[in-house]
């Protein structure tokens, strides 16, 4: 997407995959970042599982990255490492466009890692009043719930219209006895884990607990139709896949890397071409 958009705007860009699966085992993240900076890259997109670990390698954080507690876009500029989070705005825009009739209110968020942090704060800003957060690490879910509530109190009603100040985020243990009641209470369920990727097949929750009154979102975009979304649709749920978040986080990252505003429709078209290539 970045290279195609650069070419469309007269920029000669190179976007490389630094695949940690192809590196020697236990290659430290600091070595990867140091080498990328030394090699003259404009920056890095950071993905699972490094979005929180990279925080310690930045010189400065954007407000979104600081609030979320995770970085997915690292920019090298004037000898500094600037950490940004474009997942935050990317998810919100993807949800708005993918399910335009949905106003998130009672939502179960599955996953409290780097992506989960971005989604939790985005859902809060979109008006969630009951945000249930579950993770296999209950301490991570508790910490994220506390961070969202603290942000809600700090922002107040004057900063964001509607019900932000009344958001209540709470941790839900990742056990059947707790997940089932949370799904029953929720209007929407969002997967913020890597579960569903080709190398991590499966679903983040028991999909037999879903009904046609739920809307369901997933951040996984390869494949776009995850097992989770396929099962949710079979049960009558409205769904939104991870492509919107993938495109809109990239639109923002392109601007951060180049200083040039990207055409989101063109970047979307490039993304769509991947499935037919």
Position 248 scores a pLDDT of 98
Position 77 pLDDT exceeds 90: yes
- Starting at the edge strand that comes first in sequence, how are the strands of the sheet with 238-240 ordered? 168-173, 130-135, 106-110, 188-191, 215-218, 238-240
Claim to verify: residue 66 and residue 99 sit in the same structural domain:
no
Containing structural domain, residue 184: 88-242
Give the CATH number of the domain where residue 14 resides: 3.40.50.10860
Position 156 scores a pLDDT of 55
Position 161 scores a pLDDT of 41
Position 159 pLDDT exceeds 80: no
Claim to verify: residue 30 and residue 148 sit in the same structural domain:
no
Could you give the CA distance from residue 37 to residue 159 in angstroms, rounded to a whole number? Answer: 37
Record the tokens describing residue 150, joined without a space.
């603290």
Q: How many domains does the chain have?
A: 2
Q: Give residue 1's pLDDT band: very low, low, confident or very high (50, 70, 90).
A: very high
Claim to verify: residue 32 and residue 111 sit in the same structural domain:
no
Q: Give residue 149's pLDDT band: very low, low, confident or very high (50, 70, 90).
A: very high
Position 154 scores a pLDDT of 77
Q: Are 44 and 30 in contact (CB under 8 A)?
A: no
* pTM for this entry: 0.91
pLDDT, one tens digit per residue, over 220-233 is 999 999 999 999 99
Claim to verify: residue 102 and residue 198 sit in the same structural domain:
yes
Tell me which of 276 and 38 has the higher pLDDT.
Answer: 38
Across the range 180-196, mean pLDDT stands at: 97
Taking alpha carbons only, the member of 181, 230, 192, 190 closest to residue 214 is 190
Position 20 scores a pLDDT of 93
Across the range 113-118, mean pLDDT stands at: 95
Taking alpha carbons only, the member of 3, 81, 5 closest to residue 36 is 81
The SS3 call for residue 133 is strand
Could you give the CA distance from residue 43 to residue 84 in angstroms, rounded to a whole number? Answer: 11
Claim to verify: residue 100 and residue 46 sit in the same structural domain:
no
Claim to verify: residue 167 and residue 230 sit in the same structural domain:
yes
Per the annotation, the verdict on 50 as an active-site residue is yes
- What's the mean per-residue pLDDT of the chain? 94
Claim to verify: residue 39 and residue 124 sit in the same structural domain:
no
Claim to verify: residue 115 and residue 197 sit in the same structural domain:
yes
Claim to verify: residue 140 and residue 270 sit in the same structural domain:
no
- Annotated catalytic residue: which of 15, 41, 50, 221? 50
Give the CATH number of the domain where residue 191 resides: 3.40.50.720
Claim to verify: residue 156 and residue 205 sit in the same structural domain:
yes
Cα dist from 6 to 65, 75, 100, 138, whole Å: 25, 17, 30, 42
Position 213 pLDDT exceeds 50: yes
Claim to verify: residue 38 and residue 101 sit in the same structural domain:
no
Picking from 47-56, 145-154, 229-238, which range would have the lowest pLDDT averaged per residue? Answer: 145-154
Claim to verify: residue 73 and residue 163 sit in the same structural domain:
no
% of the chain with per-residue pLDDT over 90: 91
Picking from 46-60, 95-109, 158-172, which range would have the lowest pLDDT averaged per residue? Answer: 158-172
Our CA angle for 116, 84, 274, nearest 5°, is 70
Position 276 scores a pLDDT of 56
């Amino acid at each position: 997407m970045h290279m195609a958009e650069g070419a469309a705007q007269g920029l000669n860009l190179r976007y490389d995959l630094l695949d940690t699966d192809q590196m020697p085992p236990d290659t430290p993240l600091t070595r990867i970042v140091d080498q990328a900076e030394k090699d003259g890259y404009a920056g890095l997109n950071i993905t699972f599982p490094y979005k929180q670990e990279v925080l310690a390698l930045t010189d400065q954080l954007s407000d979104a990255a600081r609030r979320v507690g995770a970085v997915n876009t690292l920019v090298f500029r004037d000898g500094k490492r600037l950490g940004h989070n474009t997942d935050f705005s990317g998810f919100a825009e993807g949800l708005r466009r993918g399910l335009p009739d949905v106003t998130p209110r009672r939502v179960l968020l599955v996953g409290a890692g780097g992506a989960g942090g971005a989604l939790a704060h985005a859902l809060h800003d979109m008006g969630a009043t009951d945000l249930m957060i579950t993770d296999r690490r209950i301490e991570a879910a508790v910490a994220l719930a506390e961070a969202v509530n603290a942000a809600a109190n700090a922002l107040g009603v004057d900063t964001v219209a509607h019900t932000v100040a009344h958001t209540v985020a709470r941790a839900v243990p990742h056990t059947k006895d707790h997940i089932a009641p949370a799904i029953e209470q929720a209007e929407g369920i969002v997967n913020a884990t890597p579960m569903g990727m080709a190398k991590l097949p499966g679903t983040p929750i028991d999909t037999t607990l879903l009904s046609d009154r739920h809307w369901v979102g997933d951040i996984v975009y390869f494949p776009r139709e995850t097992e989770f979304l396929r099962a949710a649709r079979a049960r009558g749920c409205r769904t939104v896949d991870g492509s919107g978040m993938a495109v809109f986080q990239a639109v923002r990252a392109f601007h951060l890397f180049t200083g040039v505003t990207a055409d989101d429709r063109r970047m979307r078209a490039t993304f769509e071409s991947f499935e037919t290539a």
